[in-house]
Amino acid sequence: MEEQLNQLRKSIDEYDTQIVELFEKRMGKALEVLHYKQEKGLPVLQHGREQKVIEKVKNNLQNKELHTEIEQLYLTIMKLSRQIQAKEWNLSDFLLIGETIVLPLGERLKEKKIVFQGEFGAFGHQALTKHFGKEQSIHHYETFEDVFKALQADEADYGILPIENSSTGAINDVYDLLVQYDVYIVGEQYLQVEHCLVGLEEAQLEDIEEVYSHIQGFHQSKSFLDRYPNWKLIPYTNTAASAKYIKKLKDPTKAAIASKEAAELYDLKVMNEKINTNQENWTRFIIIGKKVEINEDSRKISLIYSLRHNVGALYDSLGVFVKQGINLAKVESRPIPNQPWKYHFFVDIEGNLLDNQVQEAIKQVQEKSLFIKILGNY
C-alpha cells in the first residue's frame, strides 16, 4: 500500500515539474506579447481577451465538473501574468493601481472625430453636440457595437452612447459592450428626452396604422401608445432613423416616435408633442475614449467587477468603499454570458483615482474579485 502511495506521489511530482516548466514558458510568452504590442503601437490592455481564454480552457476540459476550479486557476495565472507585465511597462504613460490594474493615461484631444449610434437628429446626436459643440468631425453608425468597433479600429477618437434612462433604467447592451471592449469612459452628458409622434404633412391621427421607433421610444411612451391598441408597433434601429424611414415611405398611415429636432430635420409634421409617460424623462449618455483622462475635476469613477458566488460577497465588497468614506453613486448587475447565476457588478463611486484613499479601496476590492476593470474617472 505504501509503495502504491509513493508511486502516486511520484506521478504528482512529475506533473508539478511539467506545470512549472509550462508556467515559465507561458509567462515568457506574455512578455513577448507585451513587447510586440509596444513595438506595433497596439493596445496593451485587452480585458475581453481574458474571458475568451477562460471560455476556451473550460471547453477543452474533459471533466466538466472542474469548470469552477479551472476558471479560478486561470484567473490567478492571468493575474500573475499582468503583474509580470506591469514590471515591464513604461509607467509614465500608465496609472498603476494595486499590483495589476494598469490604466493607459491620455489627455482630451483638441481635434476630435466623434461617433454616435443612429441618424443625424437622434438623441445621441443631440447629446454629442451639447457636450462637444457643433464644430467637430461627426459620424454615425447603425449599432452600439459599431461605435465601439470604430474606436478599436482607430476610426474615431470618441464615441457617445446612452447608458441609462430615468424612466426605463439601464441600457443593458451598452453595459455588456463595456466589458467586451477596451475603451474608457471620459465624460457624461445628461439630456432631457421629449418624444413626439411624427408623420407626413398630410397624416391624420385616426389614419395611423403603424408606428416605428427604437424600443426605448416605445417603452418611454407606453401610456400614450396604450390609447391606440390597434397601432402596430415596429421596432427600428433608432428614433431619428425611424423618422427618416417614414419620410422615405411617403405613406400617411405610418408614423414614428422621435424628437422634434428629427421631425424638423426630415421635414415631418409633429402630430403629438411630449408623449413620453414621464415628463421628467432624462437619458444619461457616456463619452468613451481609448485612454483614461484624469484631472483635478474628475469626481466620478466607474468600475466593473465579478465575485465568487459566496454569501455576503457583494456586501463585503461594497463595504470597502463605506469604510474608506467613499460614496456609492450607483450599483447595477448584469449576468455574465455563458455563466448561469454569475454576475458583473457595475459600480459608480465618487472620487479621484489619484487619491490614495480611493486607490486603497479599489485595491481591496480587487483582492476580493475574480475580475475587475476600471472604466474611467470623469
What 3 state SS string does 73-122 have?
HHHHHHHHHHHHHHHHCCHHHEEEECCCEEEEECCCCCCCEEEEECCCCC
Question: Can you name the residues that pair with 139 across neighbouring β-strands?
Answer: 115
Q: How far apart are CA 180 and CA 182, in angstroms?
A: 7
74-81, long-range: CB < 8 A, 24+ apart: 75/370, 75/371, 77/23, 77/26, 78/50, 78/53, 80/27, 81/26, 81/27, 81/30
Tell me the average pLDDT across 282-296: 95
- Chain segment 20-57, per-residue pLDDT in tens: 999 999 999 988 887 887 676 666 666 567 778 888 88
In the chain, where the domains are located: 14-88, 196-272, 296-378
Active site residue 345: no
| pLDDT given for residue 348 in this prediction | 97
Question: pLDDT over 70 for what percent of the chain?
Answer: 96
**Sequence-ordered list of residues with C-beta below 8 angstroms from that of 5, at least 6 positions apart, any chain:** none
Within 13 Å and on the Cβ side, how many CA atoms surround 142?
2
User: Does this model's pTM top 0.95?
Assistant: no
| pLDDT given for residue 44 in this prediction | 61
Q: Which amino acid is at 148?
A: F
Q: Which amino acid is at 33?
A: V
CATH T-level fold of 296-378: Alpha-Beta Plaits (3.30.70)
Which carries the bigger pLDDT value, residue 171 or residue 89?
A: 171
CATH T-level fold of 196-272: D-Maltodextrin-Binding Protein; domain 2 (3.40.190)
Please name which of 161, 159, 261 lies closest in space to residue 216, comparing C-alpha atoms.
161
Mean pLDDT in the chain? 91
Give the CATH architecture of domain 14-88. Up-down Bundle (1.20)
Active site residue 283: yes
Active-site option among 148, 285, 345, 346: 285
Active-site option among 100, 129, 239, 283: 283
